[in-house]
Amino acid sequence: DAGITQSPRYKITETGRQVTLMCHQTWSHSYMFWYRQDLGHGLRLIYYSAAADITDKGEVPDGYVVSRSKTENFPLTLESATRSQTSVYFCASSVAGQGLGEQFFGPGTRLTVL
């Protein structure tokens, strides 16, 4: 769906560098999420946001920072990348709270940390 996009789609970086993954949605969904996907672990929630300027930690937040100054954008920053952060990152958005609405996923960003 063109409604939620992620950039870059692929990124290679080195240990210790700062990396920002972008997520943009055009639906004005209130809720946005960042997941990482690793073999054997499924989708693990990093951070989520219920609205602009409201963010909270998920299951695996260490080493990540988020912000949400505008409803449509939800960037994820790795402050000092580590090899263990090599993963596929998915952004998602949802119109409904209380876990009652479909989450729409972006196409993903494959990040490699050397």
Partner 1 sequence: GENVEQHPSTLSVQEGDSAVIKCTYSDSASNYFPWYKQELGKRPQLIIDIRSNVGEKKDQRIAVTLNKTAKHFSLHITETQPEDSAVYFCAASAPRSSNTGKLIFGQGTTLQVKP
Binding site for partner 1 (CB under 8 A): 30-31, 33, 35, 40-45, 48, 50, 56, 58, 90, 94, 96-103, 105-108
In which order are the strands placed within the sheet that holds 4-7? Answer: 4-7, 19-25, 76-78, 64-66
Alpha-carbon distance 97 to 94, whole Å? Answer: 8
Least spacing, CB of residue 81 vs partner 1, in Å: 23
Residue among 53 and 102 whose Cβ is closer to partner 1: 102
Residue among 78 and 89 whose Cβ is closer to partner 1: 89
Contact in structure between 110 and 37 (CB atoms under 8 Å): no
